[in-house]
Amino acid sequence: MSRDAGGYLMDYRKAEAKDWARARMRGVTDVIIPSYSADLTRLNEAGVRHDVRRNIELGFWGALLVSEAGTTKEEYQRFMEVAVDEARGRHHLVLHGTFDTADDVVEMAQCGERAGVSALLLGYPNSFYPKAPQDVYDYTAHICERTSLAVILFAASHWNFERLHPSGFPPQVLVEAAKLPNVVAIKHEVGRPGVAASYEFFKMVKDAGVLLSDPLEANSPLWVELFGMQWMGTSNYEYWGGKVPEYFALLHEGPQDKAMQLYWQIQPARAQRMAEQNATAGANFIHRYLWKYQAWLNGYNGGPLRQPVMKLTDGQMRRLRDALARSGLEPEKADFAEFFVGRNPC
């Protein structure tokens, strides 16, 4: 990525996006949640920079810049600019394309192009209620046609598309959307429990020229072996420090036994994370405060978050910290109160 007087220049042209992704998107992409000032009136730019540096230290390919944490559009634009500036071409940042309207997504995607992010994870607004699969395709194509960013499609159950397909996302929409020139990857996490839906879908699109990702890292050994999954994202893998990018690289490069040794090392924390996640599953609302805390346990900034956000309890914090210790990691031992202050308070 290079820079000129008007901002950053993308590493690829729109027509080259698929080739760029196959060549460059290799590794694990976690999340960075924005940090705020103590009074929650502005971004904490020092905290954002701290988290980008920490992400690089831990070996992640990149990070999703979370948009579902109370930022205004202007603040999210600045969030992107600060993160890209701190990364200095050493790290890839992904725009989180879940805003109130399609126009908002297009506007922020164009801001992301100027800021220098690498890709767009495309979601759907809460008020979007498609009556047919074609409606989903039309929305997806509408966004893709209006940005030059590489687009990661996102099939998730919380979009409430089960009326369109029992898996939670009509697979034919993804198959057709994969033909759009700047669609480069598909994040597929529907049809659970089990992996049959992803297995069936990955077979459908394995020759479509797009990257395939199941973000549930516990399944990654299977998908690397069967489909050569080269990029995994996006989720809060930072909860395990750098262990996920480390074992993911070893799944590809070997030795395999070392990869699986690391995989099983973090099983106590993996199981606890899943237990905490299941406790709030029916809310269709990601517990961002919990994720922020999980990152803080491994050296990230932490700090307060704006409403709306779920409450964080001492029991949750204690269980998650203890699970990391049982996994042979060294989580932050400071008083829980320090998390709500953050490492770079302002």
Percent of the chain residues topping a pLDDT of 90? 95
Are residues 106 and 143 part of one domain?
yes
Are residues 227 and 243 part of one domain?
no
Residues 6+ apart with CB under 8 A from 283: 310
Position 55 in a domain: no
Rounded mean pLDDT of 229-242?
99
Are residues 183 and 117 part of one domain?
yes
Write the pLDDT tens digit of every residue in 108-135.
Answer: 999 999 999 999 999 999 999 999 999 9
Percent of the chain residues topping a pLDDT of 70? 97
- Band (10; pLDDT cuts 50, 70, 90): confident
Look up the domain containing 335 and give its range: 239-346
Residues 6+ apart with CB under 8 A from 30: 55, 60, 63, 64, 233, 234, 235, 236, 237, 238, 244
Position 39 in a domain: no
- Band (3; pLDDT cuts 50, 70, 90): low
Beta bridge partners of 233: 29
Look at the block and give the residue holding tokens 């990691």. 329
* pLDDT at 198 (0 to 100): 98
Closest-CA residue to 169 (of 185, 184, 182, 153): 153
8 or 80, which is more confident? 80
Are residues 74 and 9 part of one domain?
yes
Q: Say how far apart CA 311 and CA 340 lie, in whole Å.
A: 12
Mean of all residue pLDDT scores within the chain: 97
Q: Which of 234, 267, 295 is the last residue of a domain?
A: 234
Are residues 142 and 12 part of one domain?
yes
Q: Which of 234, 252, 269 is the last residue of a domain?
A: 234
Q: Which of 201, 219, 234 is the last residue of a domain?
A: 234
- Band (6; pLDDT cuts 50, 70, 90): low
* pLDDT at 232 (0 to 100): 99
Are residues 338 and 250 part of one domain?
yes
Are residues 101 and 22 part of one domain?
yes
Backbone angles phi, psi at 284, to 5 degrees: 50, 40
Amino acid at residue number 318 = R
Q: What total of structural domains would you count in the chain?
A: 2
Position 42 in a domain: no
* pLDDT at 1 (0 to 100): 58
Are residues 261 and 176 part of one domain?
no
Instruction: Please give the C-alpha separations between residue 208 and each of 18, 176, 177, 201, 315, in angstroms, as whole numbers.
Output: 10, 10, 10, 12, 46
Write the pLDDT tens digit of every residue in 245-278.
Answer: 999 999 999 999 999 999 999 999 999 999 999 9
- Residue 5 confidence (pLDDT) above 60: no
- Residue 2 confidence (pLDDT) above 90: no
- Band (282; pLDDT cuts 50, 70, 90): confident
Are residues 158 and 128 part of one domain?
yes
- Band (284; pLDDT cuts 50, 70, 90): confident
Are residues 179 and 120 part of one domain?
yes
CATH number of the domain within which 11 lies: 3.20.20.70
Write the pLDDT tens digit of every residue in 12-37.
Answer: 999 999 999 999 999 999 999 999 99
- Residue 343 confidence (pLDDT) above 80: yes
Position 189 in a domain: yes
Write the pLDDT tens digit of every residue in 304-328.
Answer: 999 999 999 999 999 999 999 999 9
Rounded mean pLDDT of 277-297?
94
